[in-house]
Amino acid sequence: MSAVISESLCTGCGLCAKVCPSKCISVEEKAAVNDSRCLSCGHCGAVCLAGAVSSEGFKAFSVHDVEGLEVERILQGKRSVREFLPDAIPKEILSELVRYGEMAPSSRNTRGRKYFVVTGSRVTELEREVIAGLNSVAGPAAFLAPVLRLFSRKRVESLSSLKKLFSSMQSAFDSGKHPVLCGAPAVICIASPASNMQGKDDCVCSEQYLMLYAESIGVASCINGFTQIAHKNAERFLGVPKGYTIHAAVMLGYPKYSYKRYVRYGEDITWVE
Ligand SMILES: Cc1cc2nc3c(=O)[nH]c(=O)nc-3n(C[C@H](O)[C@H](O)[C@H](O)COP(=O)(O)O)c2cc1C
């Protein structure tokens, strides 16, 4: 299900390699995909101006082939963006994003989510805390490995590969890169009361409203699962009141690259009629 790049259509511009989340495209004169790492996520197909990408996993088509409502444009065009321009997002716009996020449904009808808007150099400070949190989550795993191995070898292998990933993030961060928050000029974290059994769903609903509204005004976004994993560190850093948990974090900024195509994936539907 790997993406395939047509040699005759490829212009060698390299945009596909820049946006590829798994960094599996290399470009010499032409772009080529390393099949074993390709997720078939469609980013390369959506960004390619020449329409050189095809895949069994998705079909990329020109935005001009789509007629319909603005909402369709937003839903089809929204991508997870990880390369941002350095420009700050004005405070009024960030407030609007939160306003739309809070319009999302919540399990107790009372909304009641809390938003933490992080900007400028504070994003890098948050990233430092999140990476420290990730490494402390993975640390005990290595310590427990011999015991865990008795139960599941696979689990130990996946824990040790996570440990490697998190420590490589630490090294990248120490050398001035932004492996977790991708240099986003703003991050919004959303928290709900820990006592609410569906607090996570509440935060995710809000996150999606906020991201789609952002897309409609040209602000790109990407969910940040790592901040959720290391939420305790993020909560300490952000001063989240006791009794609240961060369940969602979104990176936001103006996109460095624009996607010119939409991508259609194969849907797995079971009709129960
Ligand atoms: C629960 C969840 C957590 C995610 N966490 C991250 C993350 O930590 N970092 C990141 O770059 N992308 C993250 N993503 C974005 C996915 O990787 C992204 O949706 C996928 O690459 C497909 O790209 P698309 O959204 O443009 O279709 C997350 C997505 C979800 C749903």
Mean pLDDT of 118-146: 86
Type of residue at 233? N
Q: Given a cut of 70, is residue 159 above it in pLDDT?
A: yes
What local confidence, expressed as pLDDT, does residue 226 receive?
A: 97
**Ligand 1 centroid vs 80 CA: distance in angstroms?**
6
What local confidence, expressed as pLDDT, does residue 70 receive?
A: 86
What local confidence, expressed as pLDDT, does residue 161 receive?
A: 86
Q: Given a cut of 90, is residue 152 above it in pLDDT?
A: no
What local confidence, expressed as pLDDT, does residue 135 receive?
A: 93
**Ligand 1 centroid vs 252 CA: distance in angstroms?**
13
What local confidence, expressed as pLDDT, does residue 147 receive?
A: 60
Site to substitute for ligand 1 among 41, 80, 134, 229, most atoms within 8 A of C-beta:
80
Q: Given a cut of 90, is residue 64 above it in pLDDT?
A: no
* Protein residue whose Cα sits closest to atom 31 of ligand 1: 223
Q: What is the 3-state secondary structure (H, E, C) of the chain?
A: CCCEECCCCCCCCCHHHHHCCCCCEEECCCEEECHHHCCCCCHHHHHCCCCCEECCCEEEEEHHHCCCCHHHHHHHHCCECCCECCCCCCHHHHHHHHHHHCCCCCCCCCCCCEEEEEECHHHHHHHHHHHHHHHHHHHHHHHHHHHHHHHCHHHHHHHHHHHHHHHHHHHHHHCCCCCCCCCCCEEEEEEEECCCCCHHHHHHHHHHHHHHHHHHCCCEEEECHHHHHCHHHHHHHHCCCCCEEEEEEEEEECECCCCCEEEEECCCCCCCC
Q: Given a cut of 70, is residue 150 above it in pLDDT?
A: no
Distances (CA, A) of 260 to 26, 64, 73, 98, 254: 21, 9, 12, 28, 16
From 20-24, 107-111, 250-254, the region with the lowest mean pLDDT: 107-111
Q: Is 79 touching ligand 1 by the criterion CB < 6 Å?
A: yes
Q: Given a cut of 70, is residue 141 above it in pLDDT?
A: no
From 146-155, 209-218, 245-254, the region with the lowest mean pLDDT: 146-155
Tokens of 255: 């996109």
Mean pLDDT of 93-101: 98
Domains and CATH numbers, the chain: 4-69+258-265 (3.30.70.20), 91-253 (3.40.109.10)
Q: Given a cut of 90, is residue 236 above it in pLDDT?
A: yes
Tokens of 216: 């409609």
Contacts with 182 (C-beta within 8 Å, 6 or more apart), sequence order: 82, 83, 84, 222, 251
Q: Which atom of ligand 1 is nearest to the CA of 39?
A: 21
User: What whole-number distance in Å separates Cα of residue 99 and Cα of residue 113?
Assistant: 11
What local confidence, expressed as pLDDT, does residue 155 receive?
A: 67
* Protein residue whose Cα sits closest to atom 29 of ligand 1: 223
Identify whether the C-beta of residue 209 lies closer than 8 Å to the C-beta of residue 99: no
From 93-97, 141-145, 188-192, the region with the lowest mean pLDDT: 141-145
Tokens of 37: 């790492």
